[in-house]
Every structure is written in structure tokens, then in C-alpha cells.
Amino acid sequence: MRLSELSRAAGVPTATVKWYLRIGLLPRGVPTGPNQARYDDAHLRRLVLVRTLAEVGGLSAEATRSVVDALDDSSRGLHDVLRVAHHALAGPAPANPVPEAATAAVDGFLADRGWSVPPDAPARVELAAVLGALERLRQRGTGVSPATAPPMDTPDEVRALLTPYADAVDALAAGEIAGAPDDMPRDELVERVVTGTVLMERAVTALRRIAQEHYSAERYTV
């Protein structure tokens, strides 16, 4: 198909398709003339994927490229591609150093739970940043823990705070990983894992906000 047909089939404006071609997020087509090229179903599929990562996942062009490069590198295993997607989703590292006590608290919690991730996993740093922020708020008498609660770096306090959240996502994540069919071709499998990670993360966040609004309306409005 021609660029205009590719654009229509994917529902992506031609200007955006040309931009993706220029920055290499979409491979060039087969030239058919001085200013024309032919595209196939692989282009269409990649275009829909790139659009999804960028628009719904909110990934920058650079982050999208890192995911697409990992998909295209068939020497990378599925676990490796998932980690690239997590790095791409994570955004910049926290502007301020995360307190060591908060990092130690996260590591203790994860070890107790038997969850093991490498030290550079962005989610580990992110969770420590959340604990550090909660502790700052607690010291100032603001936030989810009263100032009289034990500090956030006390293992019992951290366990009490995080366990309901970890329990809630545990079954989800286990099901997501277990649900991937064994006999699926690698390309389909990694696309499925990446889009599932990116899109269902948005869905979890949206559903939590909806549930909060629902229960908050029940309790606080007449």
C-alpha cells in the first residue's frame, strides 16, 4: 500500500507517519518512484504499535524507540524486553536522592515477600521514592500516616502499609505472565507482553481512581 493508504488503515495522520519514518520509529518502505514507496502489513502493524506506545502509553519518542529496538532484536529474551519496557515507562530518575533508609525498607519488604528484582529496576527506586516522600510528610504531620506513627523505615510499618497493595497486584501480575501462551511466536508474544504492560497499567490506574471516586461519593456526598 502507499503511505496515504497506510495512514488511513492505521488511523494515523500522514504527517505523523512521515515523522515516524524520519526518526526511524517506522522502517522505510520499498521505493517505487522518486517520492513514493510501498508499505506492507508489517509496517501497518508496527505503526499501530508505535502509536499505542506513544499516545496511550505516554512514551517519549526516545522511550518508544528503545522498546521498538528491543522488539526487533531477536537475540533478546522476553524477560529482557519486559525490562526495557519498564525502563521506558519509568521516565526520568527522581530529581533528589532517595533516602537510603527508604531503599533499605523497600529491599527488606521485597525480600520478605520473595520478590526479586535487580538493583537498577526503576520500579524499586520509584517505590523507595514514595516511601521517602511519605516519611517526609509524616515528619511534617501531613499525609497518610499520622505523625505519631512509627517512622516509615520500620519494617512492620512498611509491611502494614504496602502489603494490601502488593497483594492486589500479585495475582494480576502472576496471571498476566502465566496467561501468555507457550506456543505463540516470539514476535507476537513480546508485542503482547509490552502492550499488556503499558495499556493495562493505565487501566489499573484509571480503575483505582474510578473506585475511589465511587466510594468517596458514597461517604462524603449526600
Q: Which of 121, 149, 151, 159 binds its own copies (CB under 8 A)?
A: 121
Under rule CB under 8 A, how many of the chain's residues touch its own copies? 89
Q: Which stretch binds its own copies (CB under 8 A): 18-26, 32-40, 59-67, 113-121?
A: 113-121
Could you tell me the three cell numbers for 210? 474510578
199/23 Cα distance (integer angstroms): 24
CB 193 within 8 A of CB 181: no
Q: According to the binding rule CB under 8 A, does residue 86 interact with its own copies?
A: yes
Residue 103 makes CB contacts below 8 A (sequence gap 6+) with: 124, 125, 128
Q: Which of 23, 111, 160, 169 binds its own copies (CB under 8 A)?
A: 169
Q: According to the binding rule CB under 8 A, does residue 61 interact with its own copies?
A: no
Q: According to the binding rule CB under 8 A, does residue 133 interact with its own copies?
A: yes
> What part of residues 20-59 is at the interface with its own copies (CB under 8 A)?
44-45, 48-49, 51-52, 55-56, 58
Q: Which stretch binds its own copies (CB under 8 A): 18-26, 29-37, 62-70, 195-203?
A: 195-203
C-alpha distances in angstroms, 78 versus 28, 89, 179, 201? 26, 17, 14, 18
In the bound state with its own copies, the residue whose beta carbon lies nearer, of 5 and 215, is 215
Residue 113 makes CB contacts below 8 A (sequence gap 6+) with: 166
Query: Quick count: other Cβ atoms within 10 Å of Cβ 155?
Result: 13
> What part of residues 200-219 is at the interface with its own copies (CB under 8 A)?
200-219
The distance of closest approach from Cβ of residue 124 to its own copies in the complex, given in angstroms and rounded to an integer, is 7
Q: According to the binding rule CB under 8 A, does residue 185 interact with its own copies?
A: no
86/118 Cα distance (integer angstroms): 12
Q: According to the binding rule CB under 8 A, does residue 119 interact with its own copies?
A: no
In the bound state with its own copies, the residue whose beta carbon lies nearer, of 34 and 114, is 114
66/59 Cα distance (integer angstroms): 10
